[in-house]
């Protein structure tokens, strides 16, 4: 396996060091295909997989040391096979490789991926994502959600049931804004993935699903959202213009009942035929900023397109 990477024109992108986390799942293969389409020859790419500790897979006391040693050898062999399979997809592209053996390291798969990304100074972590649970599938919610919550770099999630092609760069990009510094940082970051002919759409969601206020208070809150949304979309237009790009803008609304912001974002993305959704987030502070809390995570669980969760030092310092 080659051990170096051709960074190509990576200096033109926010993402110069891209770490692709893989396992044997179809979700990982789609993530690998998407990574190749966007970053091959333009960024340094590192393939990383995690070999599970057999002690966590079998009941305590039910196995012998010999059995555990044989199981570990088989698990590590399977992990190497995964790396070789994904490497073949990147024929002609120089790659780096990493295999984390949890028999030798403390923690779980999410811990291992986060530590590896941090140690390698990754700008972007790419993972496959499945929307339903399954035994021993580390790439699912039990891994992708804690990684999304704790990662310090940007995260690109590619769902297994993705409705858009993953063998080409995005052509119709949707940026969801909430008016915060984080969402604008996400816009700036996402623009660096946009090809010259990609179509752009920025949206602000007016949350009308108010349950705790009377009609008068709800109208006042809706008016405030409208003003904030107009300001956010105007600023987004200026940011795109500063990057030499034109974006269409839209103020979208949730239904007054049985609806929420994540569903509104995903619904609008599908209706516009968007093929990449970009959310700016740091995952913690900002009680009144819906993109900074659980909205980004809940949206990621619903999407049927790739989703970029973009973080930045500027946003984190807000």
Q: Which domains does the chain have, with CATH numbers?
A: 10-159 (3.40.50.620), 172-316 (3.40.50.620)
Residue 286, φ and ψ in degrees, nearest 5: 100, 75
Quick: pLDDT tens for 108-164. Answer: 999 999 999 999 999 999 999 886 544 334 444 567 778 887 888 999 999 999 999
Higher pLDDT among residues 9 and 230, named by residue: 230
- Residue 284's closest CA among 261, 311, 266? 311
> What is the mean pLDDT of the segment spanning 89-117?
94
- Residue 290's closest CA among 251, 260, 246, 249? 260
Handedness of CA 162, 167, 172, 174 (dihedral sign): positive
**pLDDT on residue 284:** 46
Cα distance between residue 116 and residue 35, in whole Å = 18
pTM of the model: 0.85
**pLDDT on residue 313:** 59
Strands (E) in the chain, as ranges, are: 17-21, 44-51, 96-101, 124-129, 154-159, 172-177, 199-206, 248-253, 276-280, 307-310
- Residue 274, Ramachandran bin (φ over 0: left; ψ between -120 and 50: alpha; else beta): beta
**pLDDT on residue 61:** 60
Whether the per-residue pLDDT at 279 is higher than 80: the answer is yes
Quick: pLDDT tens for 184-230. Answer: 999 999 999 999 999 999 999 988 765 555 566 667 777 888 899 99
Quick: pLDDT tens for 255-274. Answer: 877 888 899 999 999 999 99
């Amino acid at each position: 396996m080659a051990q170096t990477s051709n960074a190509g024109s990576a200096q033109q992108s926010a993402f110069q060091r891209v770490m692709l986390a893989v396992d044997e799942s179809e979700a990982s293969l789609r993530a690998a295909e998407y990574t190749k389409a966007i970053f091959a020859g333009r960024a340094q790419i590192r393939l990383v997989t995690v070999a599970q500790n057999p002690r966590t897979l079998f009941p305590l006391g039910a196995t012998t040391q010999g059995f555990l040693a044989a199981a570990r050898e088989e698990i590590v062999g399977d992990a190497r096979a995964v790396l070789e399979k994904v490497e073949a997809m990147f024929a002609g592209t120089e790659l780096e490789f990493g295999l984390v053996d949890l028999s030798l390291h403390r923690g779980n798969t999410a811990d291992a991926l986060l530590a590896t990304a941090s140690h390698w100074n990754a700008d972007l972590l790419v993972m496959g994502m499945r929307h339903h649970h399954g035994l021993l599938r580390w790439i699912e919610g039990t891994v992708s959600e804690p990684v999304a919550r704790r990662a310090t770099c940007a995260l690109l999630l590619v769902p297994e049931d993705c409705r858009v092609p993953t063998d080409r760069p995005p052509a119709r990009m949707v940026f969801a804004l909430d008016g915060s510094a984080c969402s604008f940082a996400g816009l700036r970051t996402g623009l660096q993935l946009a090809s010259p002919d990609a179509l752009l759409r920025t949206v602000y969601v007016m949350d009308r699903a108010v349950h705790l206020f009377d009609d008068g208070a709800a109208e006042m809150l809706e008016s405030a959202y409208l003003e904030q949304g107009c300001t956010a979309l105007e600023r987004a237009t200026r940011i795109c213009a500063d990057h030499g790009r034109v974006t269409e803008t839209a103020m979208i609304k949730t239904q007054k009942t049985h609806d929420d912001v994540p569903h509104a974002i995903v619904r609008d993305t599908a209706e516009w035929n968007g093929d990449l959704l970009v959310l700016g987030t740091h995952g913690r502070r900002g009680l009144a900023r819906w993109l900074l809390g659980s909205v980004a995570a809940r949206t990621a669980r619903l999407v049927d397109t790739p989703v970029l969760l973009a973080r930045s030092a500027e946003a984190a310092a807000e």
